[in-house]
Structure 1
Amino acid sequence: MIQRGASALYQQDSSAMMQKPLSELIADRLKQKIWNEEIQLGKRLLETELAETFDVSRSTIREALKILESEELINSQARKGTYVKAFTQQDVDEIIELRTLIEERAFIQAARYLGENDIKKLEAIVEQMKTKADEQDWHGLFDLDMLFHNYVVRMCRNSRIIKIYDSLQVQIRTFLMHLDRYYSSHQSFYDEHKLLLQALVSKDAHTVKRRVRNHIAYVETKLLGQKNNVELEEV
């Protein structure tokens, strides 16, 4: 049976989780299994098998799969079945481009509005990242990365930017699955977020822009083997 306390993209309030329909909880659990590589990209998903695993009806599984399909995490084809989508090079290119466009602007705007309480919350997230880095836990680091970036974007006070970013959450988290092999260590991933937090605390637009671009450009350079005109910093 599905664990109702399981989190999806990031940690959530348990009472909010209990209010979710069962199909959404199952969709969340399937996402976690995909991100943790318990379910491989490209794998076929069988309704009967999933219904037995979660001890629910096939109609509930069908609803859960519809959620994943709307988030573009799976692909259903008539007479062919339902499969976890594999990430293409175009997917990678587009997500990197969108993250640069959205996060650069959102972080600059958010820096203006961050108060002491917000900074403390971000510091707590980064501190948790330090723990996960020490434990060499990539999946935990990636979940906290989503929590950190999502918190900052939500502080930008632009409802349309937030809405667009929300629609990309599942795609971004799936993209992060590929990054563990490109970072030299768990520590370097944690260090990048320390630099991002320092930039936000400084509230200097130029510094924030540079740190965000360096963070995303590092990923682009390592993942795609591309050179760009951003001077990367050592972390």
Structure 2
Amino acid sequence: MSIFLEKGSQTAMEEDRMIVQKPLSELIAEELRQRIWNKQVQFGERLLETELAEMFDVSRSTIREALKILEQEQLVISKARKGTYVTEFTDEDLAEIIELRTLMEAHAFQDALPELGREHFAKLSEILDEMKTAAGKGKWGDLFDLDMKLHGYIVNQSGNSRIIRIYESIQVQIRAYLVHLDQYYSSPHSFYAEHRELVDALKTKDPQKVNRSVRDHISYVEEKLLQTKQKQ
């Protein structure tokens, strides 16, 4: 059975509404990205140009452009004479992503502290409310998207343009490894509660407490992920 929706499916593209906003190749890349993040397409799975072209009713050249976008994000890999596959992140890949994320966010969150005012905390509260709703419905995919939204929002308040650009460049990879984390939380509510505690730490405006909270938040579950993978 094909992993892709049939032509004309509303969830596949909603082309009539979206085509004016982005090139078709970007829309297809976005759809495939979401399918990987939602586990509809598995890590290591082969992506066939002919199947994708038929599914989306576009040329193979458009599909190649879409796959090139995902390849630049390191979400897929092209193997000579073998085809294109969804990237399987190694233990080393995950360790590097965790280390980089920890270093960048710990620094950016502390830089953001003097800039965070009432309106910023109001926005963070809105995101937390969305997370609480998603947790109540058990929607892990939405929770992981909101995780990226919350962390990215704080990083953007740091004022460090280089950190912001680098962080944006690795967000796709960060979101990809979040896919694995649902099995390490006792419930969606515990995932939400951890983010609420992170925002509470920010409200104290204590740099040391924020630094400790960020590092604990990022490292704990991710380290469990690596330890589990190493035992497999």
- Provide the TM-score with structure 1 as the length reference: 0.88
Equivalent pair of 1:4/1:18 in contact (CA under 8 Å): no
Runs of 4+ with deviation above 4 angstroms: none
State the aligned residue count.
Answer: 217
Q: Which residue of 1 aligns with 2:187?
A: 185
Q: Which residue of 2 aligns with 1:125?
A: 127
C-alpha spacing 1:221/1:46, structure 2 compared with 1 (3 Å)? closer
Can you give the 5+ residue segments of structure 1 that lack an aligned partner in the other structure? 6-13, 227-235
Q: Give the Cα–Cα distance (whole angstroms) in 1 for the partners of residues 63 and 112 of structure 2.
A: 39
Q: Alignment partner for residue 166 of structure 1, among 150, 165, 168?
A: 168
Identity level (%): 59
Q: Which residue of 2 aligns with 1:81?
A: 83
The C-alpha deviation readout for 1:58-95, integer Å capped at 9, x for no partner, is: 11111000000000011112211111111110111001
Task: Tell me how far 1:101 sits from its aligned partner.
Answer: 0.4
Stretch moving more, 205-214 or 64-73: 205-214
Alignment of 1:1-235 (within 5 A): 1=8, 2-4=12-14, 18-225=20-227
Q: Give the Cα–Cα distance (whole angstroms) in 1 for the partners of residues 166 and 66 of structure 2.
A: 22
Task: Tell me how far 1:18 sits from its aligned partner.
Answer: 4.2
Can you give the 5+ residue segments of structure 2 that lack an aligned partner in the other structure? 1-7
Task: Tell me how far 1:178 sits from its aligned partner.
Answer: 0.7
Q: Which residue of 1 aligns with 2:3?
A: none
Q: Give the Cα–Cα distance (whole angstroms) in 2 for the partners of residues 28 and 221 of structure 1.
A: 29
Q: Give the Cα–Cα distance (whole angstroms) in 2 for the partners of residues 159 and 104 of structure 1.
A: 15
Q: Which residue of 2 aligns with 1:231?
A: none
Equivalent pair of 1:41/1:86 in contact (CA under 8 Å): yes
Task: Tell me how far 1:224 sits from its aligned partner.
Answer: 2.8
Task: Tell me how far 1:112 sits from its aligned partner.
Answer: 1.4
Q: Give the Cα–Cα distance (whole angstroms) in 2 for the partners of residues 187 and 168 of structure 1.
A: 26
Q: Which amino acid aligns with 1:224?
A: L
Equivalent pair of 1:4/1:25 in contact (CA under 8 Å): no
